[in-house]
Structure 1
Amino acid sequence: MSNADAIPPGLTSPTPSEPVLPVAAMPLEVPSAMPALMYPEPLAAHDAAAYVDLRRESAWFESAGQWSTFRGPKAAEALNGLVTNDVTQLRPGEGQHAAALTPKGKVLCDMLIFRMDEETFMLTLLRTCAPQWLATARKYVNPRLAKVEDESDKWTTWMIYGAHASKAVATLGGAAHTVEDLGDVMMQGLAEWNLWQHGLWNIGPATVRLIRAPLMGSLPGFILVADARDADVVRERLEKSVYRKATRAVWNITRVEGGRPAFGLDMDDNTIPQEANLDTLGAISFTKGCYTGQETVARIHYRGHVNRRLRGLLGSSALPQHGQIVDATGKLVGDVRSSVISPRLGPIAIAMLRREVQAGDTVMVETPEGPITAEVRELPFPE
């Protein structure tokens, strides 16, 4: 995955250093040639301040992803046959997290899906996944039933997250320049939006689509999608606000703390959705009709279990990405995927671990300088 990609709405890029934006008896896969170990670094001063703002107030992020539309008289049925969640249950103004799978039930990409009206859906996913996703969709969807269009150039996207994200959005929308009571009403109304709810909202003179997306664990937040022609207006409003701009490094830490996997890092096309916890993250429906890759997912859910899945690690020191993990007997039990240094928790990581490893167990991450001790935690990490 390209390090040049910024974070798309709701998803994240595999590198934390650039500015910002899911079958039983399956063996643990060990690559023949191990990639080089990569150690995380503490946040720079500006990012550390943005992290504090995020926990206490709010911060905003620039975001870039591939936006596409499914539009047509049978758009819901066509899209439903390609993704893990049930889009037919969405009403206009609602959305969800979902994944597209290979025919063998491995993750092709994950995405956010929003219903605009009876015949139109908007989707966003990592740009690096987009060519494969668009090719798959166009291969299997009859254009007379629904048309799949790449609309990435049409939209510009930001995200506002933090303890008081509703206040931040209300202020950007002009509440700070209106009567105080009206500002309070706007903030309260936003705070009461349902998860995945979306609708039109004003940011100064520009109209944006505002989406309440649960992408940061317990921290609330919103995605702002603006017509590209209004991008400068919205960006200027954000830059002149009292809220600090945060980078990909801050996003990556909060993503790991919240236990959300990133495609291309924590999961890829060798990963079954349940291994990446996409079932517990609400990205899979087990009651919908058939879709590509469903047989594998359903067989695991109803008849068995996966032999590995993503867990958290709390390290005694910085944990290297790609590091091999062994238990007390020296047995290989997994590998480190995302690794960060949290200002709140210290060295933490998302790791793919065999199912026999339990929360509370102590494991070792192997490095050329010697093993690093880590405690296994369930995801998300506790507040």
Structure 2
Amino acid sequence: MIDVILDRDRLDSLRSGGTIMLNESAALRVSGPGALECLQGVFTNDVVGHGSDHLIYGAFLTPKGVIITDCWVMRSSSEAILILPARSADGMLALFQRTFPPRLAQVTDLRARWSVAWLYGTAVERVLERAALGPVPSQPGATATWESAAGSLLMARGTVQAPFEALLVGETATVEAARKHAVTVCAQLGTLDDSHAARILAGWPALGNEIGERTLPQEVRFDDLKGVSHTKGCYTGQETVARLHFRGHTNKEIRGLRWYGSDPLATQTITHDGKHVGLVHSTLRLPDRTLALAMLRRAVVAGSIVTIEGREATVVPLPFSTLDIEE
């Protein structure tokens, strides 16, 4: 379980200021005459249909429809940069080598020399402009290339649902220089806790946490996060995803929990009417309350009162509302 503690000042900065951080995300490049078509056949979202210069969220699945890893795709006219959790990079490289014909698509591991910077808060655009790192693309999910004396950076504005406002990708030295300059100007230097807090507020799952070894996309809000296309045609694992979408539903789903008090949990177990109904996976502890992401049985709907270690918690829709956070 991931447990994050933030005071109100830090939370306000994360939401309405400008916070920038680097983490251990991995970057891979897929290029070649059939790069986009090869990705289209293994990715849950529509890489081809979104068009050039676009940031796309989705996942790679097993043939049975289980998530291997989630991933952001920055696509250009002929190639794509994949941004994925570092823990999944080796496995995905091996999968691509088995799956993609070399004459159509080549995958380049950029981890040794590329980094990713994530930016949070509604003031990010102003921060980047003051640091001469803009302008940020105006449309959600749009990407652009920024050129400077230190080198070029790929820049993307987050999608409407994303837990971040923007991201920067490129050579590590260039990304690091941009990060340092932004902090010097007016940005807040972020931490991994800031990143987790932002995704908890947005109701966003994390690999190895909400996304486990047997997690299906619909169990972790992939429809709500616009991480699945139901019109693009076939891709690995599509049969399970389509069957759930058109003919059924999952037995459990990620939901939000809110309770007053900020003492740490000793257990993840959630009960409702005396029965085990789910597990807590991420908590954001604020001075007066705790917000959590939990995997709950589908029957436990928003508004229900559940119990965790004797504490009563309210099940709330995701993403968390201003009322959940402040009132």
Q: Same fold (TM over 0.5)?
A: yes
Q: 1:199, 1:127 → 2: CA distance?
A: 24
Q: For residues 151-197 of structure 1, what are the alpha-carbon distances to aligned partners after superposition, in whole Å with 9 as ceiling and x for unaligned?
A: 112312212221211111111116xxxxxxxxxxx76xx3x621111
Instruction: Determine if the alignment matches structure 1 residue 334 to structure 2 residue 255.
Output: no
When the two structures are aligned, how many residues end up with a matched partner?
Answer: 321
Aligned to 1:10: none
Q: Please state if 1:68 is matched with 2:13.
A: no
Query: Distance in 1 between the 2:164 and 2:268 partners?
Result: 32
Picking from 140, 143, 150, the partner of 1:195 is 140
Amino acid of the structure 1 residue aligned with 2:39: L
1:364 aligns with 2:323: no
Q: Does 1:78 align with 2:38?
A: yes
State the shift of 1:249 in Å.
Answer: 1.2
Distance 1:106 1:99, change over 3 A: same
Match of 2:55 in 1: 95
Q: Which has the higher strand share?
A: 2
Distance 1:240 1:377, change over 3 A: same
Amino acid in structure 1 at the alignment position of 2:132: G
Q: Per the alignment, do residues 130 and 321 of structure 1 end up closer, same or farther by CA in structure 2, a change over 3 Å counting?
A: farther
For 1:274-285, list aligned pairs within 5 A. 274-285=218-229
In structure 2, distance between residues paired with 1:51 and 1:300: 37
Q: Deviations over 1:61-83 (max 9, x none)?
A: 12331111111111111111111
In 2, are the aligned partners of 1:158 and 1:225 still within 8 Å (CA)?
yes
Which protein has the larger Cα radius of gyration, Structure 1 or Structure 2? 1
Q: Name whichever of 53-62 and 139-148 sits farther off.
A: 53-62
Per the alignment, residue 161 of structure 1 pairs with: 120
Structure-1 separation of matches of 2:64 and 2:311: 36
- Aligned runs of 1:222-233 on 2, under 5 Å? 222-233=166-177
Distance 1:267 1:110, change over 3 A: same
Name the CA distance, whole Å, in 2 between partners of 1:41 and 1:141. 39
Deviations for 1:230-284, whole angstroms, at most 9, x for unmatched residues?
A: 3453243133122221211122112111101111101122111000111110000
In structure 2, stretches of 5+ residues that fail to align are 323-327
CA distance in 1, matches of 2:213, 2:154: 31
- CA–CA separation in structure 1 for the residues paired with 2:161 and 2:46: 23
1:241 aligns with 2:180: no
8 Å contact kept, 1:68–1:124: yes
TM-score norm. by structure 2 comes to: 0.91
Note if contact 1:107-1:272 (Cα within 8 Å) is conserved in structure 2: yes
Could you say which residue in structure 2 is the equivalent of 1:253? Answer: 197
Q: Distance in 2 between matches of 1:228 and 1:206?
A: 10
Partner of residue 289, structure 1: 233
Change in Cα spacing, 1:97 to 1:363, as seen in structure 2 (3 Å) is same
Aligned-partner SS, 1:128: helix
3-state DSSP of counterpart to 2:126: helix
How far is the alpha carbon of 1:205 from its aligned partner?
4.7
In the superposition, relative to structure 1, how do residues 248 and 215 fare at CA in structure 2: closer, same or farther (>3 Å)?
A: farther
The alignment-based identity, stated in percent, is: 31
Contact 2:4 2:196 in 1 (8 A): no
Secondary structure (helix, strand or coil) at the match of 1:240 reads helix
2:307 is paired with a residue whose SS is: strand
Residue type of the alignment partner of 2:56:
Q
**Equivalent residue runs for 1:163-178 within 5 Å:** 163-173=122-132
Aligned equivalents of 1:324, 1:232: Cα separation in 2: 41
Q: Give the distance between the partners of 2:170 and 2:33, measured in 1 at CA.
A: 26
CA distance in 2, matches of 1:231, 1:353: 39
Q: 2:228 aligned with 1:305, yes or no?
A: no
Q: 1:47-92 CA distances to partner (integer Å, 9 max, x unpaired)?
A: x544322333212112331111111111111111111011111322
Contact 1:314 1:347 in 2 (8 A): yes
Q: Distance in 2 between matches of 1:72 and 1:350?
A: 40
Matched, 1:129 2:74: no
Residue correspondence of structure 1 range 198-217 to structure 2 within 5 A = 198-202=143-147, 205-214=150-159
- Paired with 2:66 and 2:17, the residues of 1 have a C-alpha distance of 38
| TM-score (normalizing by structure 1) | 0.78
CA distance in 1: counterparts of 2:67 and 2:182, whole angstroms:
35
Give the superposed CA RMSD: 2.2
2:325 maps to none
Partner Cα distance (2:146, 2:113) in 1? 18
When residues 334 and 105 of structure 1 are mapped into structure 2, their CA distance, relative to the original with a 3 A threshold, is same
Kept in 2: contact 1:321–1:339 (CA 8 A): no
Query: Following the alignment from structure 1 to structure 2, what is the Cα–Cα distance between the partners of residues 149 and 41?
Result: 34
Task: Give the Cα–Cα distance (whole angstroms) in 1 for the partners of residues 257 and 65 of structure 2.
Answer: 27
How far the C-alpha of 1:41 sits from its partner, in A, is 5.7
